[in-house]
Amino acid sequence: MGKTAFIFSGQGAQYVGMGKDLYENFSAARKIFDEADEVTNGKISKLCFEGPDEKLRETVNTQPAILTHSVACYSVLKEEGIVPDIVAGLSLGEYSALVASESLEFREAVPLVQKRGKYMQEAVPIGKGTMAAILGLDREQVLEICKLASTEGIVEAANFNCPGQIVIAGEIAAVNKAVDLAKEKGAKRAVLLTVSAPFHCSLLKPAADNLAKELENVVIKDSKIPVISNVNADFAREGKIVKELLVKQVNSPVLWEDCIKKMVDSGVDTFVEVGPGKVLSSFVKKIDKTLKVTNVENTQSLYSTLEKLGG
C-alpha cells in the first residue's frame, strides 16, 4: 500500500463561491467557516461565497479565504475517515498543511496569514514589482536568464512548479527583460502574471522580517503528520524550525517540484489536492504521470475522491 499525501492550494486558486456547498452540506466545514468569521468579524465566509471577485483577489483577503476553504475541505475529509500520511502546501498552502498536521491552531492561522498577506503587499509598492511564468525551459536556463536580466534590476526564480514551468519574480524592468530573453532562448511561453507583488524573491525581505516578529507571538507545535517545507523540500517537524522556515519562505523560491519528488521518494503514490482549484494536481501529473491524483474543493469532488480512495 502506497502512502497518501494531501497538498494544499496556494494563492491564485481562489474563486467566488468556493466552499459554499460544503458549508451548506457538512457541519465540519460549517464549523471552520464560522470559526474564521469569528476571528475576522464575519468577513471571510461572505467573501468566499459572494465575493466580489476584486475584493477576494486582494492578497490580504485571498490568504485567509483560501486557508479557510482548504481547512474546511480537510475537516470534512477527516470526518469521513480519510487522513494523510504526509502533507505539504504551495506557499500560502503550507499554512493549511500546518493546520492539518496540528502544528498550528486554525484560529491563530487565520489572522496570521491575513497579516502575512498585508506584509507581502506592503513590501513592494504597487507598480514596482511583478512575476512571470516561463514554460519550456529548464532550471539552469532560467537561472542563467535571471542572471543576464539582472542588469535591469532584481529578478530571481520564485517557483519551481514542475518540469518546464518556472515562475520568476522581481522588479518590472528586469522581469520584462527576462521574459524577452526567455523567448529568444526558445521558451514555449513567457508571460507576465497578474499578481499584486513579486512573491518569493529578495524584494520581500521586509515582509519576512515583519512576519518573524508576528510569529514570536504564535505557538507552533511539533507536527503530528509529517510536513514538507517549500524552502528546502524536506521534512520539518519541530515547531521552532517550522517558524524559521516560514519566515524564509516569504523571500525564498518555492521548491514545489522537489517537494513532490521528496514525497514520492517517501512512498507516496496518491495525491489529494485540498482546497480551491486543480493547479497542484496538474503539476503532480507533469512531474510523474503514474501517480494517482484527485482533488477536493466541493461536495462533488469530495464524493468522487472518497470513491477513488475507497472511503
29 lies in the same domain as 111: yes
50 lies in the same domain as 71: yes
Judge whether 96 counts as a catalytic residue: no
81 lies in the same domain as 176: no
For cell 496570521, the residue is 112
* pLDDT, average across residues 46-54: 96
Share of the chain above pLDDT 90, in %: 94
Contact 296, 272 (CB under 8 A): yes
220 lies in the same domain as 93: yes
Q: Which pLDDT tens digit goes with each residue over 7-28?
A: 999 998 999 999 999 999 999 9
Q: Number of H helices and number of E strands within the chain?
A: 14, 8
- Assign residue 227 the CATH number of its domain: 3.40.366.10
pLDDT tops 60 at residue 204: yes
95 lies in the same domain as 209: yes
Provide the pLDDT confidence category of residue 288 given band limits of 50, 70 and 90. very high
Judge whether 200 counts as a catalytic residue: yes
pLDDT score, position 310: 78
146 lies in the same domain as 262: no
111 lies in the same domain as 239: yes
Q: Which pLDDT tens digit goes with each residue over 154-186?
A: 999 999 999 999 999 999 999 999 999 999 999
Q: b/e string for 203-232 if b means 16 or more Cβ within 10 A?
A: bbeebbebbeebbeebebeebebbbbbbbb
pLDDT tops 90 at residue 50: yes
Residue where one domain finishes, among candidates 163, 195, 227: 195
**Number of domains into which the chain is organized:** 2
For cell 475541505, the residue is 73
Pick the catalytic residue from 9, 70, 75, 91: 91
Rounded to whole angstroms, how far apart are CA atoms 157 and 174? 12
99 lies in the same domain as 83: yes
pLDDT tops 90 at residue 46: yes
218 lies in the same domain as 91: yes
Mean confidence (pLDDT) of the chain: 96
The domain in which residue 173 lies consists of: 129-195
- Assign residue 170 the CATH number of its domain: 3.30.70.250
pLDDT score, position 311: 53
pLDDT tops 90 at residue 290: yes
228 has which bridge partners? 235
Q: Which pLDDT tens digit goes with each residue over 70-118?
A: 999 999 999 999 999 999 999 999 999 999 999 999 999 999 999 999 9
78 lies in the same domain as 180: no
302 lies in the same domain as 253: yes
Residue where one domain finishes, among candidates 168, 195, 222: 195
pLDDT tops 60 at residue 279: yes
Pick the catalytic residue from 70, 200, 229, 281: 200
137 lies in the same domain as 112: no
Residue where one domain finishes, among candidates 166, 195, 224: 195
